[in-house]
Each structure stands twice: as structure tokens, then as C-alpha cells.
Structure 1
Amino acid sequence: MAATQKIGHAVYRGPSVMKEIFYGLTLGLMAGGLWKMYHWNVQRRTKEFYDMLEKGEISVVVEDE
């Protein structure tokens, strides 16, 4: 019976503030990086469109046949 009393139990100490801050910063930076990459891609495609439009390679006016 004495051996069963020596078994340690996990004690809940509450949330770790430093872990929570680290997790929040990590997730925030990852989400911000993905958002920024998305906007860089949209900006690149828009720039390519206007460059092609300026060079005359494409047109936004439908040609009559």
C-alpha cells in the first residue's frame, strides 16, 4: 500500500505566459507572411498586365471582325 502513495500526479499549474506569447507571435508572423506573399503575387500579376497592355501585346478592347 505504501508504494501506491508515492506515485506522482501531474499538477496543473495554469497557462505558461511565455509559451502563449511565443505561440501567438509565431502564428501571427506566419499568417502575416502568407498574406504578404499573396499580395506580392497579386501586385506582380497586375504589373505584368499593365506592362503587356502598354507594349501592345494585349488589348482590353474587343476587335470587330
Structure 2
Amino acid sequence: MRGHVHSLKQMAGPRIAHATLKGPSVVKEIIIGTVLGLGAASFWKMHHWNEKKKTRTFYDFLEKGEISVVAEEE
């Protein structure tokens, strides 16, 4: 009888295989965010360096007299 009860306990409900879904890894998210942020910041900084170089070149040419600025008459 005891063996019979044991087999009923096993058959009482199907065992549900729990899905091993992992949530987002916090460390991985932080690393990805940091890398993307540093990449974007690098491109932004290079853009500003290029603009600064253009401005400095313009004022150097202006100071040397190689170019001049003429106000437009209205």
C-alpha cells in the first residue's frame, strides 16, 4: 500500500520545468552603458576640438591680414 501512495504522490501533479529566464545583468548593463557613453562623449569632444581648430585658424588668418571681414551694407 505504501508504494501505491507514493506513486499517487508522484502522479498528483505534473512537475513544471521552471524556465531559467535570466533578468538583465546589472553589471553587464552598467558596462554597456559606460562604453556607449564614453564612445559618444569621445565623438562629441572630437567635434568640439575640430570647431575650436576652425575658429582658431580663422582668427589667426584675420590677425595676419590674410582675410578680412566686411560688414554687409543694408
List runs of 5+ in structure 1 lacking aligned partners.
Answer: 1-8
What TM-score does the superposition give when structure 2 sets the normalisation length? 0.68
Equivalent position to 1:60, from 55, 63, 69 = 69
Alignment of 1:7-22 (within 5 A): 11-22=20-31
Cα RMSD for the two superposed structures: 1.6
Identity %: 61
Corresponding position of 2:59: 50
Choose 1 or 2 for highest CA Rg.
Answer: 2
Paired residues, number? 54
Whether 1:28 aligns to 2:56 is: no
Q: Does 1:41 align with 2:19?
A: no
Unaligned runs of 5+ in 2: 1-17
Task: List 4+ stretches of structure 1 deviating above 2 A.
Answer: none
Q: Aligned partners of 2:22 and 2:56: how far apart in 1?
A: 54
Q: What residue in structure 2 maps to residue 4 of structure 1?
A: none
User: Secondary structure at 2:42's aligned position in 1?
Assistant: helix
